[in-house]
Amino acid sequence: MQGCIHCGACTAACTKGALKMESESGTVSCDESLCTHCNACIRACPARALTYNQIRRPYVSEKRLSEAYEGR
Amino acid sequence: MTVKKTFEEINEKIRKGNAVVVTAEELADIVEEKGISDATKYVDVVTTATFGPMCSTGAFLNFGHSDPPIRMEKIELDNVSAYGGLAAVDAYIGAAEPSTDRGIEYGGAHVICNLIDGKKVHLKAYSKGTDCYPRKEIDTYITKDSINEAYLYNPRNCYQNYSAAANTSDRTLYTYMGVLQPGLGNVNYSTSGELSPLLKDPYLRTIGIGTRIFLAGAEGYVAWQGTQFASGKPRGENGIPLSGACTLAVIGNLKEMSTEYIQPAIFEKYGVSMFVGIGIPIPVLDSDLLFNLSVQNKDIYTNILDYSVQRSNKPVLAQCSYEELRSGFVSIEGKKVKTSPLTSLYKSREIARVLKSWVAEKGFTLQPPVAPFPKGVTLKSLEQGRL
Residues of B marked as catalytic: 132
Residue A66 confidence (pLDDT): 45
Which ipTM value was assigned to this complex?
0.91
CA nearest to B249, candidates B60, B3, B38: B60
- Tell me the per-residue pLDDT of B102-125, one tens digit each, with 9 for 90 and over: 999 999 999 999 999 999 999 999
- With an 8 Å Cβ cutoff, are B275 and A47 in contact? yes
Mutate which of B113, B268, B270 to disrupt the A interface (most A C-beta within 10 Å)?
B268
Residue B349 exposed, middle or buried by CB count within 10 Å (0-12, 13-18, 19+): buried
The helix or strand, by DSSP H or E, that contains position B114, with its residue range, turns out to be: helix B108-116
Q: Which of residues 21-80 of B touch A (CB under 8 A)?
A: 51-53
pLDDT at B294 over 80: yes
**CB B160, CB B122: distance < 8 Å:** no
Residue type, B112: I
What are the tens digits of pLDDT across the range A44-64? 999 999 876 655 444 444 444
Query: Which residues in chain A have Cβ-Cβ distances shorter than 8 Å to B273?
Result: 46
Per-residue pLDDT tens digits for B184-212? 999 999 999 999 999 999 999 999 999 99
Task: Tell me which chain B residues have a C-beta less than 8 angstroms from the C-beta of A8.
Answer: 340-342, 344
What is the mean predicted confidence (pLDDT) over B288-306?
97
Predicted TM-score (pTM) of this structure: 0.94
CA distance A5 to chain B (A): 7
Size of interface A-B (CB pairs under 8 A): 81
Q: What is the C-alpha separation between B188 and B175, in angstroms, rounded?
A: 10
User: Which residue in A has a C-alpha nearest to residue B326's C-alpha?
Assistant: A23
Inter-chain CB proximity A46 and B345 less than 8 Å = no
Residue B216 contacts by C-beta under 8 Å, 6 or more apart in sequence? Answer: B116, B152, B252, B257, B258, B261, B262, B276, B277, B278
Cβ–Cβ of A6/B327 closer than 8 Å? no
Confidence tier at B83 by pLDDT (50, 70, 90) = very high
CB contact under 8 A, A6 and B344: yes
Euclidean distance between CA atoms A49 and A45, whole angstroms: 7
- pLDDT per residue as tens digits for the range B320-338: 999 999 999 999 999 999 9
pLDDT mean over A12-38: 93
pLDDT at residue B2, rounded to an integer: 86
